[in-house]
Structure 1
């Protein structure tokens, strides 16, 4: 790339202003609904390469309503900062016995977030997430954090409903789940169109996360349904069994990535 061109990603222009994604750090804050699940590991080898590790059977489905920024300018033009996504997290055991998280599936409704995710090794595709917002007022429509209040979340991909979740707050303290508990290994790799017969060689990275802050997590009872889909392969994880749920708020910054230790 010519050094006179400032773009971090395409479109490549001298100013870099039109680039879809500027370089990190990327700052995120959001509202999360987390449903911890036990997953079938029978088809784990079809999702996780053996040299990376194996599924342990523990995982989480996150529904997230984010806003993100680089220098704060996106917060003044929210169409560039706001998005929602559904994240499937699986716990993996590395060949050396260490535990990490891995994301085999994730769907988002914003192209900026999609490309940021691919750069980090998150396999983002387009999908539509809807989720109940909790607002800090005591009103029937606010879904305030208190025992008995109910929340819902859903994911649709290509106009087909794929995941549905329903939660009831218990009033008890909750636990961080899924990617809130351990670093997520990213799988980075793009095909080479000069060799269309060869799949990309993946390499593994860990996010360089800084300035992580979180609210208290609030416990919930949850039910989860995964629906058939003609293309998506979420069924490789079987029928998820709910083992816990929580809701709350998270902030963090991504400064870059580092190679996963061998």
Structure 2
């Protein structure tokens, strides 16, 4: 399989706090990789760097072989301007923990906004696609509801539809089930499982170990901004090599 995402020696700091420390990983086309680890491990920051919402301090991130967030300028890298970064970002679907829907727009308007404003589709086409995606998410009859009129699970499914509406090359999911109560978590997890069966290329940061076990091809375990261990899902979850990985999984299992 071709490499969809390649990160090489990525470092990122906020002030004096280093949140990513020499992170390297590959994600192949059609592959689903889960980032797991304790809170503060750098998982969400890494996703934001891939999506050019944060600019890395050093290293490289490539999507489909194209450098993301920077351009080559002689022997150094130069950050992209806002317009160029936005164009790159449009090729990636991002699903946030707290939905990040436009509160003043209905569900269908939220989903149609990106294709209309960024991809240049006409209103009728964008709306038709949005209606189809919302139906696929099990939201028929909720298309003209505002976020405040939807449950958390319904809002997250709108957010997933919004990501899919951009025909993304890669889908990033940042703790997609953690802000939901158990019943709503199941709703969203089932949608993500459906995407996995379609072999959408996905990178997700999550504490939801049962979901990881169901859908992930590989697992990357992070602590304090660094990759501690990675490998096939079955091996990492059942027979981790690193003691720190095993301790984390034991703690997560005991919470379930």
TM range (shorter): under 0.3
Answer 1 or 2: which has greater strand percent: 1
TM-score w.r.t. the length of structure 2 is: 0.24
TM-score w.r.t. the length of structure 1 is: 0.23
Comparing both chains, which one has the higher relative contact order based on Cα–Cα distances under 8 Å and sequence gaps of 6 or more?
Answer: 2
